[in-house]
Amino acid sequence: MKTSEIFDALLEALKVGETATVIASRRDEITKALNKDFRSKEGCTDYKLMVGSFGRHTAIKGVSDLDMIFILPPGVRSNYSSDTGPRRILERVRDDLKARYTDTEIRVDQCVVRVQFKSNAFKFEVQPAFKNSDGSFDYPDTVAEDWKVTKPRKEIATTKECNDRTSTNMRHLARMARAWKNANGVNMGGLLIDTLVHNFFAQTDDYDLAGTGSFDLMVRDFFAFLKDEPEQDRYLALGSRQWVKVKAKFQPKAKKAYGRCLDAIENEGKAAANKKWREIFGTSVLLAVSEGAKSYRDTEEFIEDWYPIDISGTVLIDCDVTQNGWRPTQLREMLRTGVLLKANKGLKFSVTSCTIAQPYELKWKVLNRGPEAERRNMVRGQIVGSSKPGVCLEHSDFKGEHVVECYVVKDGVVVARDRIDVPISNTSVKPTNVS
């Protein structure tokens, strides 16, 4: 496939699409319920503002966290000026929405009211706020017991300005960066992504007029920019110049993506290029049409076909390698020191750390790769549950480059993921009672 065809198809696949209509309907229902209480208006959908990725038009298919501001009538401001005001206003909003959605999980969470729609896995974070004369908003904070300032309109305006200047490439790159985040488990917030994309275009005009035929070079240079960013715990957000937090280091995974870009560009026009772009951006990248019938049954499944992906946390997995008469060893330590993993080893994959609060569900995928897996017709790759709580049990069997992936599923959305390579030197990973 040509480079332009790969990226045209990717961008089309990343569109929010028909989901946007459902989101707009939910947004308007919420607004009507609040206007009925605060303004005594029936069916009024005014006085709301979508913010976050959806409001900046940089969201992609699978978006689950939706941020909106409900603009409060100025006449009630004095009623909520005391230190109990922030909590009281949020509880009032919560109660209004509980009356509207009697079977939906709704709760106050510091600065917002969270509304978890289970039927379509949307989570709205509704922030009641007073509009100021300069276009900013005062919003409640129950921890500080005070009102704080946010400037989302400036973030929206700056995104649009950059997007217009770069012939819509700003939003294209921001969406592709989200695809990379979700495909590779990079724990980055949407505002940080948009800020870094904006900063990238601020230091080069090479791609202001670029078409999709040059997007391979654009994303290569973007990941080069990311991997070379100095480590810091916060950035000044685009437009608002308010601080946005860095949740986890993104540079190591950006470096991997950069290397894959180089490989993809080197293999332009070959099937190998599509595979490398897919490693970066996930299954939204089409694979090249295969020539000839496969000699094995391709049973690989993809988590994207099961759940929306919206990475908001970090999970890390490792593996205890055991054999009778030998002391257990950690697989990542073996990989780090170059110790070979051989056949007839017991493999116990488990989560070593996770930033997602319980409860959640774990899903696993064990993928066998290479000529031996194909010869034995044991490619595998099905999505399965844990062998026992938090654990996936396997056994090393035959030579090849194998992969184990772990997915954290919360409220019907994959919110964290990790993978570990399992290179077996002389004899994939064979299941032992995987449930």
Q: How far is CA 45 from CA 85, 89, 124, in A?
A: 25, 20, 16
What amino acid occupies position 161?
Answer: E
| Alpha helices per DSSP H over 282-394 | 331-337, 371-375
Given its phi and psi angles, is residue 399 left (phi above 0), alpha (psi -120 to 50 degrees) or beta? beta
Name residue 105's beta-bridge partners.
116
Tell whether the model's pLDDT for residue 280 goes beyond 60: yes
pLDDT of the residue at 290:
59
pLDDT digits (tens, 9 = 90+) for 51-93: 999 999 999 999 989 999 999 999 999 999 999 999 999 999 9
Enter the pTM of the model.
Answer: 0.91
Average of per-residue pLDDT across 260-279: 97
Tell whether the model's pLDDT for residue 293 goes beyond 60: no
Render 61-123 in DSSP notation, one character per residue.
TT--EEEEEEEPPGGGGGGG-STTHHHHHHHHHHHHHHHH-TTSEEEEETTEEEEEETTTTEE
pLDDT digits (tens, 9 = 90+) for 199-249: 999 999 999 999 999 999 999 999 999 999 999 999 999 999 999 999 999
pLDDT digits (tens, 9 = 90+) for 171-188: 999 999 999 999 999 999
Share above pLDDT 70 across residues of the chain, in percent, rounded to a whole number? 91
Name residue 131's beta-bridge partners.
137
Tell whether the model's pLDDT for residue 433 goes beyond 80: no
Q: How much is the mean pLDDT over the chain?
A: 91
For residue 251, the number of C-alpha atoms closer than 13 Å in the C-beta half-sphere is 9
